[in-house]
Amino acid sequence: MKHLASLAFLAPISLAWSLPAAAQEAEEPATPTSVIAAAGADEWIAIAPEDLLVMDLAPDARGNARRVVIQLMPPPFSQPWVANIRTLAAAHWWDGTSVNRVQDNYVTQWGDVTEAKPLPEGVVSPMAEYTVQWCNYHVCPALPPVGNLGRRLTSEHGWNSFVEGWPIGELEGRSGAWPIHCYGAVGVGRNMAPDTGTGAELYTIIGQPQRHMDRNLAVVGRVIEGMEHLSSLPRGHGELGFYTEEEADLRVPILSVRLGSELASASSSEAVGQQESTPRYEYLDTAGQSFARYVAVRANRNDAFYTVPAGGVDVCSVQVPVRRAE
Amino acid sequence: MKHLASLAFLAPISLAWSLPAAAQEAEEPATPTSVIAAAGADEWIAIAPEDLLVMDLAPDARGNARRVVIQLMPPPFSQPWVANIRTLAAAHWWDGTSVNRVQDNYVTQWGDVTEAKPLPEGVVSPMAEYTVQWCNYHVCPALPPVGNLGRRLTSEHGWNSFVEGWPIGELEGRSGAWPIHCYGAVGVGRNMAPDTGTGAELYTIIGQPQRHMDRNLAVVGRVIEGMEHLSSLPRGHGELGFYTEEEADLRVPILSVRLGSELASASSSEAVGQQESTPRYEYLDTAGQSFARYVAVRANRNDAFYTVPAGGVDVCSVQVPVRRAE
């Protein structure tokens, strides 16, 4: 058996970032991969180009391009910050800024290292809440249950579910709902409260998600492609993982950040770095049958490799499948 | 406020890997850092050199040494694999092997890429369980509660707590207990069940911990220093994140792996790579008052930065504080 020792170690699980398209044979036990592969075309929902933020970092040491694609948070969540981010991208504000902080098991953060670059007019820290009054938007439903898991989609607080493709938390009593900081979530750096941040300074989660960040910082999106270009960077050794002046050359230059809609318009292609256009993406409908089955299989792995099902799954262990559209 | 935008982003939380020693002023709200700093010397428990595994990787591109220190799992958990690992380290078996797999948001894995290197005599996949019959060892107690959190130390299954410095899960009814795969946990790669792995092929968790791995793979330790040398490596692009042949130069050579007790004995210092000895470490007593307070503060951040306490905390978000001994 030894020759299989490494390759057989685990069935692939990082499905959200790269989806193997191969169909599984019917007689094999269901795995997250096989459930997603079997989902119908009508269960995939297109992501609009205007909801994509495309960040091109400077090439790596081997000259490979490094593109990070972020899906922006839809209403009703975090919209004042998302509006700022659209303004900043349209102004090409991030061009020439850099990745400045990489704290192990926590966050990678990028923005203007000089902290002196003027912001576009109107981009200010909003007087806004991280938790939205859910009933204002959705006729006060409970968050939808997923499959037969019930409360086994665990969390520290209240109820968790997926709404229109996003992991969402809800207080007991339905008094408010908020997007959850999972791996790859993109949030807004800020000063001490009551500052809320503008969106010019962004971070993404590169380790164990910390639920104490929820409801204290604005989640404005998630990385749907190129996460490795942020998660595998050398860690910083200054306070909070910022690169020190001695490590200043580790700061990765940001060549450009564009909305997908700007890239999609042919006239703007000269403004882009090494890549001319952005592909289209789609996510698996979180209200559909395949997603419910995917969650159930995630919670109860029972195949040739996993023989003891967990019986439950953390909401952040259920990455919503996202893939490139054909 | 803009000049503070980045530095004020967050109070440090990755305490397990590098502990700031500065005492906090008494009038400030308690933070995880301040609680740990205030713990008495009698609350720190020394880690024996024979329970340390010291792995020296080849220096990085800048010539910096890369040392990873692993604390091995104590009884009653995973002891057949830990015994194999001691044998492998004593035989210097890992010297000349490499890091071969880095799968984003999942694991970094190391061992013999040829899968042909003979194992020392007696090192075989044990016929052993990942879950131990807790009552055989501890007169059948329930896992100890931590502070006033009760079941808010959440998990998908049963009860979670900390036993002698380690995060442990337990089935309802106390029929078994097991070590939990948290960030930095070190586990044993294996073939398809019923293979259990030998311990020659090891991995560590570099992203969102996946509880479906618990009770299906042996957890044999955790990284207590140098985690960044495994978590920040370039991701592999072969199946399961293995480096492809085209990426073969990304495999990081392992110069040596030694038990701390071998390093501690002066006569063996010639066998070591670029670092001659290993420092001593200690962990915060998880049965003590300071640890209980640390967990409570983690679950209820309420300071100048965090204004909405979560009210609970995942067991894997509570990294047990480990520091170098004076």
**Residue B117: exposed, middle, or buried by beta-carbon count in 10 A (0-12, 13-18, 19+)?**
middle
Structure confidence at residue B285 (pLDDT): 95
Q: Does domain B44-281 have CATH number 2.40.100.10?
A: yes
> Are A313 and B211 an interchain contact pair (Cβ–Cβ within 8 Å)?
yes
| Per-domain residue ranges of chain A | 48-132+176-279
Which band of pLDDT confidence, cut at 50, 70 and 90, is reported for residue B2?
very low
Structure confidence at residue A202 (pLDDT): 98
A29 CA to chain B: closest CA distance, Å?
A: 14
**Mean pLDDT in residue range A31-51:** 96
Structure confidence at residue A97 (pLDDT): 98
Structure confidence at residue A146 (pLDDT): 56
> Are B190 and A313 an interchain contact pair (Cβ–Cβ within 8 Å)?
no
Q: Which residue does chain A place closest to B297, by CA atoms? A: A212
**Mean pLDDT in residue range A314-326:** 91
Say if residue B131's pLDDT is above 70. yes
Structure confidence at residue B138 (pLDDT): 54
Say if residue A194's pLDDT is above 60. yes
- pLDDT tens digits for range A130-162: 988 766 555 555 555 554 443 334 444 556 788
Say if residue B269's pLDDT is above 80. no
DSSP string, A124-152: ---S--SSB-THHHHSSPPPPP-TT-GGG
Residue A42 in tokens: 């009508």
Structure confidence at residue B12 (pLDDT): 36
* A19-28, A58-67, B265-274 — most confident range: A58-67
Structure confidence at residue B172 (pLDDT): 63
CA-CA distance, B64 to B70, in Å (whole number)? 19
Structure confidence at residue A143 (pLDDT): 57
In this structure, of A262-266, A285-289, B163-167, the range with the lowest mean pLDDT score is: A262-266
pLDDT > 90: percent of chain A:
59
Say if residue A7's pLDDT is above 60. no
> Are A305 and B106 an interchain contact pair (Cβ–Cβ within 8 Å)?
no
**Mean pLDDT in residue range B97-117:** 97
- pLDDT tens digits for range B137-160: 555 555 555 544 433 344 445 567
- Which is more confident, B125 or B271? B125
Q: List, in order, residues 6 or more apart from A156 with CB less than 8 Å away.
A: A211, B152, B154, B299, B310, B311, B312, B313, B314
Q: How many contacts, defined by CB atoms under 8 Å, are there between A and B?
A: 249
Structure confidence at residue A64 (pLDDT): 95
- pLDDT tens digits for range A244-266: 999 999 999 999 999 999 998 84
For chain B, the average pLDDT equals 84
> Are A216 and B299 an interchain contact pair (Cβ–Cβ within 8 Å)?
no
Structure confidence at residue A3 (pLDDT): 35
Q: Is B197 left (phi over 0), alpha (psi -120 to 50) or beta?
A: left
**Mean pLDDT in residue range A100-125:** 97
Structure confidence at residue B154 (pLDDT): 44
Say if residue B63's pLDDT is above 60. yes
Strands (E) in B33-165, as ranges, are 44-46, 52-57, 66-72, 98-103, 107-111, 153-154, 159-163
Say if residue A8's pLDDT is above 60. no
pLDDT > 90: percent of chain B:
60
In this structure, of A19-23, A27-31, A225-229, B201-205, the range with the lowest mean pLDDT score is: A19-23
Q: Which residue does chain B place closest to A307, by CA atoms? A: B216
Give, in order, the Cα–Cα distances in Å from B268 to each of A181, A212, B68, B263.
Answer: 47, 46, 19, 6
- Cβ neighbours of A96 (radius 10 Å): 12
Structure confidence at residue B153 (pLDDT): 42
CATH class in words for A48-132+176-279: mainly beta
CB-closest option in A13, A208, A317 to B317:
A208
pLDDT > 70: percent of chain B:
79
CB-closest option in B100, B207, B307 to A193:
B307
Alpha helices in A155-305 (DSSP H): 228-231, 260-264, 289-299
